[in-house]
């Protein structure tokens, strides 16, 4: 298991992936794992710091999400965000209660005390609040380092134990200097280097594809979007042309001229593309259906059927590859934590039991962490 400088425990926030993204963009490799990750698996990654994400639950609820108790005993720097702050407050002996009113929107962060986590951050910078609970009493050893008009404990810290907590979400775009705070935590407090980049990540994944696939064939589902197009390009670089079968399904639900644009793009990339005209099949599956979620399920099932039908026309197809934007994963229920369903997506959720394909593992990892 590779070393992961910053490990994010996901408690179900739909912002969680932004934490990893902001830190990776800063050159610090970061992974997201479920909040319930076993402590031995956490240790095996040799993190230099832990971030506790936000989440939809309350820490005082009977079935509240809690990490492995061993997390607190690692002696590593910890940053808690929203729900993560409330976990820290509760664990170290403070008190968390339901707020008089839910706070949602922009706030001005007033820096009250010097802290390395606020190095270079200007006073009264804008931060994004999204919470229904609050810290009522701070644990012993913690100091207030930031306040806002409605949050007297907007940011707290125990510098001796290197434990920090924000009531706001530094990972979202609306927190104007949030990225600087995350970088300060990773670099100044955890001592992480800025050596990671997408180029080395892509090389690692391409090597992983070659190692797993060998001389077998891969069926790649193509929609024309950036997600599936990037996957197709990586497979094209990793494998000989005869091992890659890219299938584009024209389901009749595309934008004007989009099918033609997809075909032109793949020709420019020199990636062979099979286009399947499945408009009639998709329209038949949607006929008389008005519920949006039922429509999405029907589209997903039809995609799988079309891909399976196309695969049977070729010999030795062992793997299915697909691209998935992480927004789709989060909306369909995060695979990392207990976030709530917004809507399902046809390319999220794995394969039905009756299919004989395997998913290309390096690509699955990329979907879940990038």
State the alpha helices, DSSP H only, in the chain: 16-25, 39-44, 83-91, 178-183, 198-213, 226-238, 258-268, 279-286, 292-311, 326-331, 361-369
Residue 152 and residue 143: Cα distance in Å, rounded? 11
Based on the residue annotation, tell me whether 236 is a catalytic residue of this protein: no
Of residues 91, 131, 169, 236, which has the active-site annotation? 169
Region for 9 from its dihedrals, namely left if φ exceeds 0, alpha if ψ lies in -120 to 50, beta otherwise: beta
State the alpha helices, DSSP H only, in 1-100: 16-25, 39-44, 83-91
Residue 49 and residue 186: Cα distance in Å, rounded? 7
Nearest to 31 by CA among 370, 324, 329, 340: 370
Of residues 171, 220, 246, 346, which has the active-site annotation? 171
Nearest to 348 by CA among 320, 362, 370, 367: 367
3-state secondary structure 181-242: HHHHHHHHHCCCCCCCCHHHHHHHHHHHHHHHHCCCEEEEEECCCHHHHHHHHHHHHHCCHH
* Phi, psi angle pair for 127, to nearest 5°: -130, 160
Based on the residue annotation, tell me whether 169 is a catalytic residue of this protein: yes
Based on the residue annotation, tell me whether 314 is a catalytic residue of this protein: no
The DSSP output letter for 148 is: -
**Residues assigned a catalytic role:** 82, 169, 171
């Amino acid at each position: 298991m590779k070393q992961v400088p910053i490990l994010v425990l996901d408690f179900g926030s739909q912002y969680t992936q932004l934490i990893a993204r902001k830190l990776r963009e800063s050159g610090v490799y970061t992974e997201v794992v479920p909040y319930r990750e076993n402590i031995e698996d956490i240790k095996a990654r040799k993190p230099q710091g832990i971030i506790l994400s936000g989440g939809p639950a309350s820490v005082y609820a009977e079935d509240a999400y809690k990490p492995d108790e061993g997390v607190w005993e690692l002696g590593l720097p910890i940053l808690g965000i929203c729900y993560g702050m409330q976990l820290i407050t509760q664990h170290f002996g403070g008190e968390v209660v339901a707020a008089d009113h839910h706070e949602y929107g922009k706030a001005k962060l007033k820096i009250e005390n010097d802290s390395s986590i606020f190095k270079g951050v200007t006073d009264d910078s804008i931060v994004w609040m999204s919470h229904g609970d609050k810290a009522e009493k701070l644990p012993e050893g913690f100091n207030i380092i930031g306040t806002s008009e409605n949050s007297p404990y907007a940011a707290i810290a125990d510098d001796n134990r290197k434990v920090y907590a924000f009531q706001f979400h530094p990972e979202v775009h609306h927190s104007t200097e949030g990225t600087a705070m995350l970088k300060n935590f990773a670099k100044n407090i955890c001592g992480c280097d800025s050596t990671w980049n997408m180029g080395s990540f892509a090389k690692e994944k391409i090597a992983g594809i070659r190692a797993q696939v060998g001389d077998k064939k891969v069926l790649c589902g193509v929609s024309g979007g950036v997600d599936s197009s990037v996957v197709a390009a990586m497979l094209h670089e990793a494998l000989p042309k005869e091992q890659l079968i890219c299938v584009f399904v024209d389901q009749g639900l595309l934008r004007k001229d989009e099918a033609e644009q997809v075909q032109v793009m793949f020709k420019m990339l020199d990636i062979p593309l099979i286009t399947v005209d499945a408009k009639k099949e998709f329209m038949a599956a949607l006929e008389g259906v008005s519920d949006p979620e039922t429509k999405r399920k029907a589209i997903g099932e039809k995609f799988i059927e079309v891909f399976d039908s196309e695969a049977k026309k070729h010999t030795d197809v062992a793997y299915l590859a697909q691209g998935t934007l992480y927004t789709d994963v989060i909306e369909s229920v995060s695979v990392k934590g207990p976030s709530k369903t917004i809507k399902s997506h046809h390319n999220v959720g794995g394969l039905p039991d009756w299919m004989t394909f395997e998913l290309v593992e390096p690509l699955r990892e990329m979907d879940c962490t990038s």
